[in-house]
Amino acid sequence: MRFDQPVPLALIAKLINAELIGNTNASATGINEIHKVEEGDLVFVDHPKYYDTCINSSASFIIINKKTDFPEGKALLLTEEPFEAYQTIVNHFRPFAPSMKMISDSATIGQHSTIMPGAYIGNHVQIGKNCTIFPNVTILDHCIIGDDVIIQAGTVIGSDAFYYNKKNNRPVHYRKMLSCGRVVIENAVEIGAGCTIDRGVSADTFIGEGTKIDNLVHIGHDTVVGKNCLFAGQVGIAGATTIEDNVILWGQVGVSKTLTIGKGAIVNAQSGVKDSLEGGKAYFGSPVEEARQKVKELVWIKRIPELWEKVMGKK
* pLDDT tens for each residue of 152-170: 999 999 999 999 988 898 8
Sheet hosting strand 108-109, strand order edge to edge: 108-109, 126-127, 144-145, 182-185, 204-207, 224-225, 242-243, 260-261
Mean pLDDT of 135-164: 98
User: What is the arithmetic mean of pLDDT over 22-26?
Assistant: 94
Give how many domains the chain has, as a whole number.
2
Pairing of strands 266-267, 248-249: parallel
Pair (131, 264) in one structural domain: yes
Question: Has residue 301 been placed in a domain?
Answer: no
User: Is 182 part of any domain?
Assistant: yes
Which DSSP symbol is given to 277?
Answer: B
Is the domain of 143 the same as that of 248?
yes
Do 130 and 63 fall within a single domain? no
Same domain flag for 180 and 89: no
Whether 78 and 121 map to the same domain: the answer is no
**Which of 65, 93, 121 corresponds to the end of one domain?**
93
Q: What is the pLDDT of residues 233-261, one digit of tens each?
A: 999 999 999 999 999 999 999 999 999 99
**Residue 207 burial (CB < 10 Å; 0-12/13-18/19+)?**
buried
Of 87, 242, 105, 112, nearest to 179 by C-alpha is 87
With respect to residue 44, please indicate whether it lies within any of the assigned structural domains: yes
75 and 160 in one domain? no
* Helix pair 82-93, 9-16: axis angle to 10 deg: 110
46 and 125 inside one domain: no
Which pLDDT score, from 0 to 100, does residue 251 have? 97
Q: Do residues 224 and 166 both lie within one domain? A: yes
Decide which of 93, 121, 151 is a domain's last residue: 93
In this structure, the answer to whether residues 85 and 177 fall within a common structural domain is: no
Catalytic residue numbers, as ranges: 221
Task: Indicate whether 175 and 251 sit together in one domain.
Answer: yes
Q: Are residues 161 and 263 in the same domain?
A: yes
User: Averaged over 17-38, what is the pLDDT?
Assistant: 93
Give the integer Cα–Cα distance in Å for 141 and 199.
Answer: 10
Domain stops at, among 70, 93, 116: 93
CATH number at residue 35: 3.40.1390.10
Inside any domain, residue 32: yes
Q: Which domain holds residue 198?
A: 108-294
- Is pLDDT of 315 > 60? no
What is the spatial distance between Cα 170 and Cα 34, in angstroms, rounded to a whole number? 24
- Flag whether 224 is in a domain: yes
Q: b/e map of 221-258 (b: 16 or more CB within 10 Å)?
A: bbbbbbbbbbbbbbbbbbbbbbbbbbbbbbbebbbbee
CATH code for the domain of 175: 2.160.10.10
Is the pLDDT at 11 greater than 90? The verdict is yes
Q: What is the pLDDT of residues 39-50, one digit of tens each?
A: 999 999 988 999
Please tell me whether residues 41 and 175 are part of one structural domain.
no
